[in-house]
Structure 1
């Protein structure tokens, strides 16, 4: 089994994916491509890139999917290769870590303790009685903390105070956190969505539109814009715009919030951001048929208004706020058979038109400005997985950089006909603190042994 494992790890594929050079190359490549994805606007229509970058660079953007860099096949491939590299590097390091954690630190003899870089030793001419021995042990434990003991080590007693043995797993927390973040991102990519909607005041909608594909995405509930307000600076620039939204489920109001930029509404894992607004004209016209039946109709831009009794449809084509001192509007008119036409109306002046063999009169009663609130809508079920990965990442960094594996030994016994007390220590980081601790123990042992400073 060991031979098969060794042969597998010695294979060229294993060496390639466990290579540090591959990891560095992938990290640099991901960093560069992320910069490209930041410089080039993401999520715009293809026409936007053609108009702003020209036909030559547009072909590159379209071929490499640079308009959606972070969801492109090659970027996901890079992330996949980096994940494989990370996993294999982790597996390759695992046996060494297990060996470090399972090693017996109480099996060292006095010779090895004397060869350590941090050591102190005392030679005592007389035999140590029980009280003096206990005094030495107590002085060691007071600074070193809880310790293990083993009798008969190289003819003496060996004490070990060990801290941070588990810190070797910090690097695995780092590796795991990156994989957790990747998993969270993939969950958001495949199970979440992003879209937008322009919602007029007073209107209700139960879907949003994917900006790139133009496809509708059902919300599973409805959202109504009760009102929209905007405040301006003295120079006319927008200061704040606010949308008053209500969530309806089966025509019942279940949630309400007034949102502004950076203060979104969240409902059932879907977040609604205040992103933009648009002002559109809205006119009220008065229409009468040959039987002198009158009807007042409100017509907004981008919407169709119907007079059901006459089977007529109306739409607003153009609006001019000031024509000879009065508002004017160009109205589109169509009947149930699809025949259509248009005419201009000036406020206060009546116009006649014929449709489907009938004669009608129409006049422009009033006009005003109506707002549409622009909402960016996002669902990302993987966001909590990403936050978990970030928390593990911070914890892993803290362990790797600030938690040392520190070992302190105290050996008491006879060596070459002499009674020796050996103090030694070893750490993989924060050596200054180890020196301070050894100095404190040294001073305490000098006091117990009656040795001058």
Structure 2
């Protein structure tokens, strides 16, 4: 039983398992990039009739937060951790000052070499020199053998941190025109997009994208900030990032009999809106002014 457990642990820590897991993780990343994420379930069933149920069943519509993707990350973290633990004993042994590999039988000594000059040269180049039974041994940068373990540990922390962050965080995409507001009821404030503008290089290329926003808390406190690419805006535990810009269309759904407007809002190209009362899915392919 102990032997089987040991074999299973070594298999789980093997390079083959790591490669398979990396391929699967890479596949999920590709799917999450190609397949539109966080759309209504009805849209996937309509857009992909043959694969819609499979997409929803495997949570590919939320690929980066799906249980399968999280499990793959956890398994890869376990693989790295076990690989590090199994190799750490030998690496720690190599770090000790007393460790030196055995001389091979085909190695030869040097005749007529001044030992004092050898010692002086090695010490000058910061080798740690030891002598035993007339044999001079020198070593430096012993801790370099721990590089792989430190790298594995760092990758494991990144994966686990990403997985925990994905499971504990939430994400929402909002579309605003200058002057539009969005209410965050739970956090107790209202966000207004005051203006959006771009700056340009002398050759006409876009230099930067800017969004000027104002937040008003429930207690009346007002804060105005500008955010741009790689400079998000944070308020009351929420982070705001510029994700996209472009044309936004005004969507209005009216009752065909009474003419009453039953739904109204903004929709961007490539996005969907699912109207639950009538099981109506609207997808805006594009707008060409």
Q: TM-score, normalised by structure 2?
A: 0.69
Structure 1's 164 and 278: CA in aligned 2 closer, same or farther, altered over 3 A? same
Larger radius of gyration: 1
Shift of 1:246: 0.9
Distance change (3 Å), C-alpha of 1:102 and 1:149: closer
1:102 shift after superposition: 3.0
Counterparts of 1:315-334 in structure 2, within 5 Å, are none
Equivalence for 1:172: 149
Higher RCO, Cα 8 Å, sep 6+ = 1
Structure 1 residue corresponding to 2:54, chosen from 45, 60, 73: 60
Task: Provide the aligned length of Structure 1 versus Structure 2.
Answer: 252
Q: Tell me the residue number matched to 1:196.
A: 173
Whole-Å separation in 2 of the counterparts to 1:331 and 1:241:
40
Q: In the alignment, what sits opposite 1:252?
A: 221
* Counterpart-to-counterpart distance in 2, 1:191 and 1:83: 18
5+ residue gaps in structure 1?
125-131, 208-216, 232-238, 281-300, 303-315, 319-329, 334-370, 375-453
Tell me by how many angstroms 1:31 deviates. 2.0
Match of 2:238 among 270, 288, 292: 270
Q: Would the aligned equivalents of 1:201 and 1:372 in 2 still touch at CA under 8 Å?
A: no
Q: Which residue of 2 aligns with 1:46?
A: 41
Offset at 1:372?
Answer: 7.1
Cα distance in 2 for residues equivalent to 1:26 and 1:39: 20
Alignment of 1:221-260 (within 5 A): 221-225=189-193, 227-228=194-195, 243-249=211-217, 250-253=219-222, 255-259=223-227
- Per-residue Cα deviation, 1:289-331 (whole angstroms, up to 9, x for no partner): xxxxxxxxxxxx98xxxxxxxxxxxxx969xxxxxxxxxxx99
Aligned alpha-carbon RMSD (Å): 4.0
Does the C-alpha gap of structure 1 residues 229 and 72 become closer, same or farther in structure 2, counting only changes over 3 Å? closer
Which moves more between the two structures, 241-250 or 36-45? 241-250
SS of the equivalent of 1:195 reads coil
2:284 aligned residue: none
In proportion to residue count, which structure has more strand? Answer: 1
Taking structure 1 as reference, are residues 97 and 139 closer, same or farther at Cα in structure 2, changes over 3 Å only?
Answer: closer
TM-score (norm 1): 0.46
The residue that corresponds to 1:145 in the other structure is 126
